[in-house]
Amino acid sequence: MTGLQYLDISGKSWAYQLLDDKFLGSGTFGHVHLAQAAIDGTTVRKIAVKTLNIKGTHDDMETELEKKRKASWEYLFNLDHPNILKYYGAHVTSAPGPRSIALLMEYCSGKRICA
């Protein structure tokens, strides 16, 4: 497993860790890994962590993340529909190297839906 990340989402304490051997896919803007998350120190579940590679400093991204969260992500986080993956939260990664934004989402197992 890779680096434990701690954050607060909707008043709950989250800790998640990427599973090194569980790369799920990549696209134009970033990549997705399987992770294990603990919520409030008890509930453990598998989640997908989508990492968006974005240029800029950590402070710039914190500001940009806040703007996006208020503008459009808030809608996604509150969306509740059985056919749409649940978004749990987002944060700017603190890992060394290029900075990125990590979106924490519901993990959906099964086959790929595109060829």
Give the CATH architecture of domain 2-106.
Answer: 2-Layer Sandwich (3.30)
Does the pTM of the predicted model rise above 0.85?
Answer: no
Q: What is the pLDDT of residues 43-102, one digit of tens each?
A: 788 999 888 877 665 566 666 666 665 556 667 777 888 888 888 877 777 666 667 778
| pLDDT given for residue 35 in this prediction | 92
Decide if 92 contacts 62 (C-beta within 8 A).
Answer: yes
Q: Is residue 46 part of an annotated ligand binding site?
A: no
Q: Return the C-alpha torsion angle 23, 24, 27, 30, nearest 10.
A: -50
Residues 23-29: what's their mean pLDDT?
A: 82
Higher pLDDT: 11 or 17? It is 17
CA of residue 69 relative to chain centroid, distance: 13
Alpha helices in 11-73 (DSSP H): 58-68
